[in-house]
Amino acid sequence: MKPDYAVAFDDIFDGLRAREIWRRLGWQEVRRRYRRTVFGPFWTTLSLGIFIGAISVVWAPLFNANLRTYLPYLTAGMVSWSFVSSIVIEGCSSFTSGENLIKQLNFPYSTLAFMVVWRNTIVLFHHLVILFIIYLVLPENLSFAILLFLPGLFILALNGVWLVILLGMISARFRDVPPLIGNLMQVMLFITPIFWSPDQLGGRGRILVNLNYLYHLIDLLRSPLLGARPAALSYIITILGGIIGWLITFMIYARFRRRIAFWL
């Protein structure tokens, strides 16, 4: 019998190589959710656009902000937040939702994690339609810095996979975790600089913002979409966080992977 760490490594590596499987499953899941609808996955984009428009009209005057600058900032933030929060929340049910597959088939469980990240990447690119509309109206927000969106997305996706694997395992063992994470993400939406700018908090408040890992993940996508470079600190924290997160996740995965099927 292979050592646990070897089984875990093979599982993750084979899951990555099985890209045709998780890519196809991701597309099928998106289509299934919006089967027999006119707009398909663009329904979520439409809902997000209406939410952003309503919030911008109300909150911009509250913050004494110029709508021409606040609307792109809020849109880029909400599009990025939707991607990150969906990975976290759906990651909690990644293994429990794949219970039948895990119990009936012999396949790398990490395939389910890659599928979650891929599926939400598809939805992310649907949401970018909102920003393209804003670029047509406010072209000053578009620059070559948008090319940094792709490496930021890559770093975020790597972080997303270990988050899904880790949260999926914990949620399979402790069923109170998914609602807890769901409630926590609702709170984090308001204490993460999405509706407001970190500069509004001042010096000490900025320290608290820098301790928010979600903020740095968001910055990797939001800044390029606004025509700016992400902060160097965001790259450092997310890359180091990804390395540490993968090491911790790998050790836990190696230790408990064989038990996942019995937890379901």
Span 156-179, mean pLDDT? Answer: 95
Distance CA 67, CA 54 (A): 12
202 pLDDT exceeds 80? no
* DSSP codes joined into one string, 90-106: HHTTTTTTTHHHHHH--
Q: What is the pLDDT of residues 95-127, one digit of tens each?
A: 998 888 888 888 899 999 999 999 999 999 988
pLDDT at 117: 95
pLDDT at 252: 95
The CB-side HSE value for 259 (13 A sphere, CA atoms) comes to 13
What's this model's pTM, rounded to 2 decimal places? Answer: 0.91
pLDDT at 35: 67
Q: How far is CA 251 from the centre of its chain?
A: 23
**Cβ atoms within 10 Å of 255's Cβ, excluding its own:** 13
199 pLDDT exceeds 90? no
pLDDT at 164: 96
pLDDT at 206: 76
pLDDT at 198: 84
Indicate the DSSP class of residue 195: S
Distance CA 6, CA 13 (A): 10
- The three-class DSSP label of residue 36 is coil
Where is pLDDT greater, at 264 or 231? 231
Q: Six-digit token pair at 257?
A: 């992977």
Is 79 within 8 Å of 217 (Cβ atoms)? no
Q: What is the pLDDT of residues 19-75, one digit of tens each?
A: 888 888 888 877 776 666 656 666 778 888 888 888 888 877 777 778 888 889 999
Distance CA 138, CA 132 (A): 10
237 pLDDT exceeds 80? yes
pLDDT at 18: 87
Mean pLDDT taken over the chain: 88
159 pLDDT exceeds 60? yes
